[in-house]
Amino acid sequence: MSSVLYDVPGPAAVRRNRALGVAAVVAIVAFVLWRFYDAGQFSPRLWEWITYVNIQYILLGALWATVSAFLVAAVLSLVFGAVFAGGRLSDHRWVSGPATAIVEFFRAIPLLVLIFILYFGLSQGLGIDIDAFWAVVLGLMLYNGSVLAEVFRAGVNAVPRGQREAAYALGLRKTQVMTNVLLPQAFRSMLPTILSQLVVVLKDTALGFIILYPELLYQARFLGSQNQLGAPILPVAIVIAVIYIGLCLILTGFSRLVEKRLARGPRATSTQGPDQAAPAMPAGAGGIT
């Protein structure tokens, strides 16, 4: 208790602090909504665009473009990170050296620059034409995969060294030590960071609007600039923000489900049924006769 700088709040103080926090949040939200109302952002003219069927189809297409780019980029980023994390953890310098150089190189380049190089540079410099979808996906893979490679490497190295040494003492090979001992323990500690990076992958798909990839932000910019709709830039931005928040909440829910399954662990099962009795000890075999 000598290390505590203040008294731990009791039940009444906890309820009071929660009530004050909720009241402050409600007051801030109410003030923002009132300012929007005062500025005329809730007028029916600025929100009738969402009732048009064609615009709803445009938003659904943009949502699919965002989700498809995210799914492909997320899978490729995880594979890229796992491969180059394994390369960095290799005992062979001819493997760890190039893997380290590649990871540090792509981590240092801004993602937008990578997308520009893939979309414009390859076609002009090497004559390789690449469409907007793969420019976004490959850019996300190279940048976020390099970050995930560092996450994987740090997670494996964070496992106590005694675990590794004990596994080697049992005669396991390095691959078996990695897959059976280190990775299962490291994955639990890495999961929150992996989720955070996947959320970054999802939000960074919005950079595709720079190269005219028709994702959510591109369509929001297009719809918000239409004068015949009243130029509803703020209402469109609010709708797109709500869609992104929903996607991030889905990711968070999936992560919590995985964490619960990992925390539950393997269920202990009994090898004997309820009707199976233990064999009787023969007389004179250590019991009292």
**Is residue 274 in some structural domain?**
no
CATH number of domain containing 121: 1.10.3720.10
| Domain span including residue 73 | 46-263
**Is residue 277 in some structural domain?**
no
224-243 per-position pLDDT tens digit: 888 887 778 888 888 999 99
Token readout for 124 is 């002009």
How far, in Å, CA of 47 to CA of 57, rounded? 16
Residues in the chain predicted with pLDDT less than 50, given as ranges, are: 268-289
177-198 per-position pLDDT tens digit: 777 777 777 787 788 888 889 9
**Is residue 13 in some structural domain?**
no
**Is residue 284 in some structural domain?**
no
The phi, psi pair for 157, rounded to 5°, reads -70, -20
CB 235 within 8 A of CB 41: yes
How many structural domains compose the chain? 1
| CA atoms within a 13 Å half-sphere pointing along the CA-CB vector of 61 | 11
The phi, psi pair for 194, rounded to 5°, reads -60, -45
Q: What's the length of the chain? A: 289
**Is residue 245 in some structural domain?**
yes
**Is residue 7 in some structural domain?**
no
Q: With the C-alpha atoms ordered 130, 135, 137, 140, is the resulting torsion angle positive or negative?
A: positive
What are the strands, taking DSSP E only, across 141-279?
none
Q: Which residue's structure tokens are 């030590």?
A: 177
**Is residue 268 in some structural domain?**
no
pTM score of the predicted model? 0.77
CB 217 within 8 A of CB 229: no
DSSP string for residues in 187-206: HHHHHHHHHHHHHHHHHHGG
